[in-house]
Amino acid sequence: KQEVTQIPAALSVPEGENLVLNCSFTDSAIYNLQWFRQDPGKGLTSLLLIQSSQREQTSGRLNASLDKSSGRSTLYIAASQPGDSATYLCAVGGGRRALTFGSGTRLQVQP
């Protein structure tokens, strides 16, 4: 059974810092890996999707990498802003496209 772990559980940084969120998964036979953002009491916003054959994806200040063999992914956020404050969820997809989610990293960017 796939298990997804995210470290750290919570992170507080001053505005402008670059930061890295970590995600690990136990079963490397994944279809894809996706990073989401969730604001309090809200739904999910998809940030980046990495297919199993890819190693990274970039969107603006965000960069996500995938190392399937070691079961790891990182989400890099450059020049963090207070508006980046949210919970970031990592999820891995199996062949049937259902996702297994990590427990998330709660990020607080201080102005």
Partner 1 sequence: GAVVSQHPSRVICKSGTSVKIECRSLDFQATTMFWYRQFPKQSLMLMATSNEGSKATYEQGVEKDKFLINHASLTLSTLTVTSAHPEDSSFYICSASSEGSTEAFFGQGTRLTVV
User: Minimum Å distance from CB 109 to partner 1?
Assistant: 20
Q: Which of 21, 30, 33, 34 binds partner 1 (CB under 8 A)?
A: 34
Please give the sequence-ordered ranges of beta strands (E in DSSP) within the chain, or none if there are none.
4-7, 10-14, 19-25, 32-38, 44-51, 56-59, 62-67, 72-77, 86-93, 99-101, 105-110
Residue 43 or 111 having the CB closest to partner 1: 43
Contact segment (CB under 8 A) with partner 1 among 13-21, 34-42, 55-63, 71-79 equals 34-42
Contact segment (CB under 8 A) with partner 1 among 15-23, 65-73, 74-82, 96-104 equals 96-104
Q: Which of 60, 83, 97, 111 binds partner 1 (CB under 8 A)?
A: 97
Q: How far is CA 53 from CA 9, 21, 38, 59, 66, in A?
A: 28, 21, 26, 18, 9
Q: Which two tokens stand for residue 105?
A: 């990293």
Q: Which of 51, 58, 70, 81 binds partner 1 (CB under 8 A)?
A: 51
